[in-house]
């Protein structure tokens, strides 16, 4: 009996595991099509450079202080860290030996040249929508870069997330490969916007909440939510009320220049504008906003649990917040929170101060920051950090005041919540 069990363990278990592995349905994969490689003309390379910017490849694939596109940047996930790879044409460590077909398979299907399934920290859940033609142009551009030797770094993921079986299961649940289809009912501009937002822009990688397994919650697409490991929250892009023309025009300004009449992008969004959106043609930004305006509303985002603040305590915070605001904030943000056009963001009507969650506002006050430097606004003004200058009680008070004044009607902020950041 004992030996039987031993044989079972030795032979049958691995066989069962192998059978499970083979049987686990991976998403359907089309055959690798090489086709006739298009010549890498200067125009195609230029087109590829533009598209790589639209995809913001450089932000993840460059490590601070190192050669652009040589990879090695650590990307945090709730399951551990992964490292971006070398996209320069080095033959040993980069894409030098890759074919356009293999590159497309990575973009479209999340599979590396050697057959390994890739971690979705590489947002191929969005890039799968990119056309083969555009993928070929990006490849031509990457192949035109100077080759840099930079070997791949092993991911530091916890078991079982570091296994290919886990990736297969994840893909079966959350990954649907497929190019973006034209919607014949819509205008060419809308279709272009959908292609950019859903594909290269990978906007829902941040602007849609993720479930416990890191899957993008498409039922609440563009409903916003916390960005795992970054500590920032992405606001919803789908708005409950139709966006007015004036609001849409401001969004165009914000995405193109990082600073609009009333707003400034900050944190991770400032990086998206800095590396990517500021380089896009005005027509493409217009198209993206046209698409964003059409997103169906998804209802309020689930708000992380917050400490309760009683009505009496709220009134106290409001009272003590006012003089703090006058002393530390009003010079820039205005007596009525009106800000200064194209210089200091308005706090009245600001999503960070009208939303249910105060997380981003707390972060802004603690850390301070700058909007992105762009061609339109080369020297954006800064916001000082208040972490050393104000106590948690004072920050809670000033934010409660700013969230409850001038027509803003958001809940109070408790000092405990400030301390959590």
Residues in 27-86 at the binding interface with ligand HEC, rule: CB under 6 A: 52, 55-57, 59-61, 75, 82, 84-85
Q: Which is nearer to ligand HEC, 309 or 383 (CB)?
A: 383
State which of residues 70, 148, 309, 352 lies at the interface with ligand HEC (CB under 6 A): 352
Using CB under 6 A as the binding rule, whether residue 383 contacts ligand HEC is answered as: yes
Spatial separation of the C-alpha atoms in residues 194 and 312, rounded to whole Å: 48
Using CB under 6 A as the binding rule, whether residue 272 contacts ligand HEC is answered as: yes
Spatial separation of the C-alpha atoms in residues 373 and 319, rounded to whole Å: 37
> Interface residues for ligand HEC in 112-131 (CB under 6 A)?
112, 118-119, 121-123, 127
Spatial separation of the C-alpha atoms in residues 393 and 317, rounded to whole Å: 8
State which of residues 70, 137, 150, 206 lies at the interface with ligand HEC (CB under 6 A): 206
Q: Which is nearer to ligand HEC, 100 or 267 (CB)?
A: 267
State which of residues 141, 174, 195, 344 lies at the interface with ligand HEC (CB under 6 A): 344
CB of 3 to ligand HEC, least distance (A): 42
Contact range with ligand HEC by CB under 6 A, out of 41-49, 209-217, 303-311, 369-377? 369-377
Number of residues located near ligand HEC, criterion CB under 6 A: 72
State which of residues 369, 372, 404, 415 lies at the interface with ligand HEC (CB under 6 A): 369
> Interface residues for ligand HEC in 324-343 (CB under 6 A)?
328-329, 331-333
Q: Which is nearer to ligand HEC, 102 or 316 (CB)?
A: 102
State which of residues 278, 357, 364, 405 lies at the interface with ligand HEC (CB under 6 A): 364
**Residue window 291-330: x/- pattern of binding to ligand HEC, with contact defined by CB under 6 A:** -------------------------------------xx-
State which of residues 194, 203, 287, 418 lies at the interface with ligand HEC (CB under 6 A): 203
CB of 154 to ligand HEC, least distance (A): 9
Using CB under 6 A as the binding rule, whether residue 280 contacts ligand HEC is answered as: no
> Interface residues for ligand HEC in 238-267 (CB under 6 A)?
251, 254-255, 263-267
Q: Which is nearer to ligand HEC, 1 or 115 (CB)?
A: 115
Using CB under 6 A as the binding rule, whether residue 190 contacts ligand HEC is answered as: no
């Amino acid at each position: 009996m004992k030996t039987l069990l031993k044989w079972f363990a030795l032979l049958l278990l691995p066989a069962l595991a192998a059978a499970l592995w083979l049987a686990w349905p991976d998403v359907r994969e089309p055959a690798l099509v090489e086709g006739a490689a298009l010549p890498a003309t200067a125009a195609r390379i230029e087109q590829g450079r533009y598209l790589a910017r639209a995809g913001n490849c450089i932000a993840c694939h460059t490590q601070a202080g190192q050669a652009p596109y040589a990879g090695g940047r650590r990307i945090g996930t709730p399951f551990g860290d992964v490292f971006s790879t070398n996209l320069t044409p080095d033959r040993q460590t980069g894409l030098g030996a890759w074919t356009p077909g293999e590159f497309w398979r990575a973009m479209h299907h999340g599979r590396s040249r050697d057959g390994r399934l890739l971690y979705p920290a590489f947002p191929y859940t969005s890039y799968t929508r990119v056309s083969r033609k555009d993928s070929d142009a990006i490849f031509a551009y990457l192949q035109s870069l100077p080759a840099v030797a930079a070997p791949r770094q092993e991911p530091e993921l916890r078991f079982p997330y570091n296994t290919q079986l886990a990736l297969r299961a994840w893909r079966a649940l959350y990954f649907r490969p497929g190019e973006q289809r034209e919607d014949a009912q819509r205008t060419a501009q809308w279709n272009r916007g959908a292609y950019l937002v859903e594909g290269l822009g990978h906007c829902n990688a941040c602007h849609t909440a993720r479930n416990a397994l890191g899957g993008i919650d498409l039922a609440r697409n563009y409903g916003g939510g916390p960005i795992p490991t970054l500590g920032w929250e992405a606001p919803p892009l789908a708005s409950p009320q139709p966006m007015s023309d004036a609001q849409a025009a401001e969004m165009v300004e914000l995405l193109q220049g990082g600073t609009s009449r009333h707003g400034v992008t900050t944190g991770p969004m400032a990086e998206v504008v800095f590396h990517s959106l500021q380089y896009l043609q005005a027509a493409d930004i217009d198209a993206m906003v046209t698409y964003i305006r059409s997103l169906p509303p998804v209802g309020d985002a689930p708000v992380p649990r917050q400490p309760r603040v009683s009505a009496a305590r709220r009134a106290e915070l409001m009272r003590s917040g006012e003089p703090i605001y006058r002393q530390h904030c009003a010079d820039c943000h205005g007596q009525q929170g009106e800000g200064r056009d194209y210089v200091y963001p308005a706090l009245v009507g600001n999503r960070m101060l009208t939303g249910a969650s105060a997380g981003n506002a707390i972060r802004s006050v603690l850390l301070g920051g700058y909007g992105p430097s762009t061609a339109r606004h080369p020297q954006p003004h800064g916001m000082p950090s208040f972490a050393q200058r104000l106590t948690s009680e004072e920050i809670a008070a000033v934010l409660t005041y700013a969230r409850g004044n001038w027509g803003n009607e958001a809940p109070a902020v408790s000092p405990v919540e400030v301390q959590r950041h």
